[in-house]
Amino acid sequence: MQAIIDLHRKADGLEIDRFLLPVGNDGLNSEGMSRATTKGTPQQDSMRWRQSFRGYWHLVTQAIEYLAQFAPVDVVVIQGNHDFERMFYVGEVLDALYHNNKNITIDNGLDSRKYYEYGINMIMFTHGDKEKAAELPLLIATEQPEMWSRAKVREVHCGHKHKEMLNEYMGTKVRFIPSICANDAWHKTQGYVGTLRCGQAFIWNKNRGLEGYLQTNVMNYGVEEKS
């Protein structure tokens, strides 16, 4: 919430038409009672599975309702490789809460890849653990040919790698978005040490495409795991 509020503060004066809020991307870390990823890799969760599930969707609703005070909110649910099942359940909770709210939309569709169109912009959201980045332009054109033909700006936003990466393939930019989460014990053991954690907000114009982004650096949000 501190990251979202800071990004919104930095967006002051931009005349925001609506918010696009992606949620998920391993937000729950594991499938719950098993304390393991969807494929069975053991995880060191910091709380019990009921607490994490309830806490996560409560946190997301807090973010949605904060943003909805200022403009309509479109929420896209992205299932990760750690929480593929449970993130779908979170999406169903959100859809049930807001299905009658004209200012809030929830995309919890059955496809793991979600598409969003805004003016000349086409954005595809996927976790990024399954697809080959260089093949994404053809995949997008095959899955959404009509949206592809209308769009002038095409991007893919992924979260799997927990670090910032950007490549362009056949005119389509593929971004891996950095994470606001601290490294867990496994990442530290493997030596995955990055720069400061940060959250980002992208600024899209209906007629001119992507015009920039805002960033908030995470300094003391939350509590790091102690050795």
pLDDT tens digits for range 180-209: 877 666 556 656 555 678 999 999 999 999
Does 203 reside within a domain? Answer: yes
Provide the number of structural domains found in the chain.
Answer: 1
Residues 6+ apart with CB under 8 A from 5: 66
Does 227 reside within a domain? Answer: no
Does 222 reside within a domain? Answer: no
- CATH number of the domain at 166, please: 3.60.21
C-beta atoms surrounding 183 within 10 Å: 17
Does 225 reside within a domain? Answer: no
pLDDT at 220 over 80: no
Does 166 reside within a domain? Answer: yes
Does 54 reside within a domain? Answer: yes
Closest CA to 140 of 154, 130, 153, 150: 154
- Average confidence score pLDDT of the chain: 90
pTM: 0.89
Half-sphere exposure of 66 (CA within 13 A, CB side): 16
Does 196 reside within a domain? Answer: yes
Using only the alpha carbons of the chain, give its radius of gyration: 17
Domain extent, residue 125, equals: 2-217
- Spatial distance between the Cα atoms of 53 and 91, rounded to a whole number of angstroms: 11
pLDDT in tens, 120-170: 999 999 998 888 999 999 999 999 999 999 999 999 999 887 778 899 999
pLDDT of amino acid 221:
47
